[in-house]
């Protein structure tokens, strides 16, 4: 970990005091430690940290990085967010998500699975050691970040859940609690997203518990979310409370709301414009400069070598 003195840090990179205090007041306890069998697995090699700690000290080395782009400053990544449950403006989640209670938390696993169950998030976090992956993160509004996400492949969790052969899709349902969230009108809650099974099993798809070596901030989708880096950001479901295995394409929130704008697949594709703006370029949010920098959008967000084969023969303008 690189430490810098106050004199070396530009004032533009320093988080405002009020945001820092709000963030600190609602940090969730660390999600490393317990293995699939709880305390017994923890004793076998997954030590659990004290509840007050937020650092993810068990991260293992990873081969994933984005060598051509700078990492987005942590303060920007945690203050410029899409999380409509807490408001529509990019600054709303950081201001409002302190009401989200992430402890205790459990996830229902249901549908076409050998044994439906409800699992606490500590146990889910311990199914495999976590690693940090620096991924491009592209939003449909034509802005992008580069964020070090912390978790492990969703495929590892799916294997442990032992879905039936008839399961062809995985659906994710997010929390919808009017006492904790704003849940603005115009959207049918709870938020729903889904992936084809091969997409969910792709090694890039990350079951995510943290970023920048810390547990997820509430506004990032704490305590558990997915990251699907070759798709637009809304495909990466946040604050997940249900994982459902199904045999047919599940309904997804934005596709149901405006199918002509948000396809089920939503792969990053510079040749498919959003009806209201171009996707050919993106605005980099990887610094605190006041001057925006635009770069050409990469097909599959730059992950074509790992994912393009899943869509061989498909019309990606029709199946957008």
d(CA 41, CA 34): 6
Helix (H) or strand (E) holding 123: helix 121-125
What pLDDT shows up at residue 44?
A: 30
Q: Among residues 245, 244, 239, which one has the least CA distance to residue 226?
A: 239
Contact assessment for residue 245 and residue 195, using Cβ atoms and an 8 Å cutoff: no
- Residue 172, classed as helix, strand or coil, is strand
Q: What is the pLDDT along the chain (320 residues), one digit of tens a residue?
A: 333 333 443 443 344 444 334 434 443 333 333 333 333 333 233 333 334 468 888 898 888 999 999 999 999 999 999 999 999 999 999 999 999 999 999 999 999 999 999 999 999 999 999 999 999 999 999 999 999 999 999 999 999 999 999 999 999 999 999 999 999 999 999 999 999 999 999 999 999 999 999 999 999 999 999 999 999 999 999 999 999 999 999 999 999 999 999 999 999 999 999 999 999 999 999 877 778 899 999 999 999 999 999 999 999 999 99
CATH number for 9-311: choose from 3.90.420.10, 3.40.980.10, 3.60.9.10, 3.20.20.70. 3.90.420.10
Short-list 248, 251, 253, 249, CA closest to 238 = 253
- Tokens 């004032």: give the residue: 11
The whole-model pTM stands at 0.84
CB atoms within 10 A of CB 305: 8
Contact 262, 208 (CB under 8 A): no
Distance CA 203, CA 201 (A): 6
Contact (Cβ atoms closer than 8 angstroms) between residue 87 and residue 96: yes
Residues 6+ away with beta carbon under 8 Å from 38: 123
As given in the structure block, the two tokens for residue 298 are 């990469």
Structural domain boundaries in the chain = 9-311
Tokens of 15: 């988080």
pLDDT recorded at residue 174: 98
Secondary structure of residue 147 in the 3-state scheme: strand
d(CA 45, CA 57): 14
CB 283 within 8 A of CB 270: no
Identify the residue whose tokens are 């600054």: 91
DSSP tally for the chain: helices H, then strands E: 9, 12
- Residue 161: which H helix or E strand, with range? helix 154-161
CA nearest to 209, candidates 235, 181, 239? 239
Instruction: Name which of 306, 233, 309 is nearest 268 in CA terms.
Output: 233
Contact (CB, 8 A) for 243 and 171:
yes
Q: Are strands 281-284 and 206-211 parallel, antiparallel or unpaired?
A: unpaired
């Amino acid at each position: 970990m690189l430490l810098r003195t106050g004199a070396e840090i530009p004032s533009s990179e320093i988080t405002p005091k009020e945001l820092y205090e709000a963030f600190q007041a609602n940090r969730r306890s660390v999600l490393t430690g317990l293995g699939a069998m709880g305390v017994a697995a923890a004793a076998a090699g997954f030590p659990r940290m004290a509840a007050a700690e937020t650092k993810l000290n068990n991260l293992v080395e990873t081969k994933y990085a984005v060598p051509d782009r700078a990492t987005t400053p942590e303060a920007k990544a945690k203050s410029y967010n899409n999380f409509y449950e807490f408001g529509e403006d990019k600054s709303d989640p950081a201001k409002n998500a302190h009401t989200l209670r992430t402890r205790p938390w459990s996830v229902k696993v249901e549908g076409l699975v050998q044994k439906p169950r409800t699992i606490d998030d500590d146990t889910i976090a311990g199914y495999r050691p976590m690693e940090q992956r620096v991924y491009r993160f592209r939003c449909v509004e034509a802005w992008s970040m580069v964020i070090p996400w912390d978790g492990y492949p969703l495929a590892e969790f799916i294997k442990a859940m032992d879905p039936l052969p008839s399961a062809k899709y995985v659906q994710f349902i997010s929390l919808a609690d009017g006492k904790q969230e704003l849940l603005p009108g115009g959207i049918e809650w709870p938020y729903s997203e889904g992936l084809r099974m091969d997409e969910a099993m792709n090694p890039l798809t990350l079951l995510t518990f943290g970023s920048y070596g810390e547990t997820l901030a509430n506004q990032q989708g704490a305590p558990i979310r997915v990251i699907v880096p070759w798709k637009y950001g809304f495909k990466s479901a946040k604050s997940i409370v249900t994982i459902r295995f199904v045999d047919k394409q599940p309904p997804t929130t934005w596709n149901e709301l405006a199918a002509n704008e948000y396809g089920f697949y939503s792969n990053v594709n510079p040749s498919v414009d959003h009806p209201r703006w171009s996707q050919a370029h993106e605005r980099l949010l990887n610094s605190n400069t006041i001057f925006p920098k635009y770069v050409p959008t990469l097909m599959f967000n730059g992950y074509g070598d790992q994912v393009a084969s899943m869509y061989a023969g498909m019309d990606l303008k029709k199946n957008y």
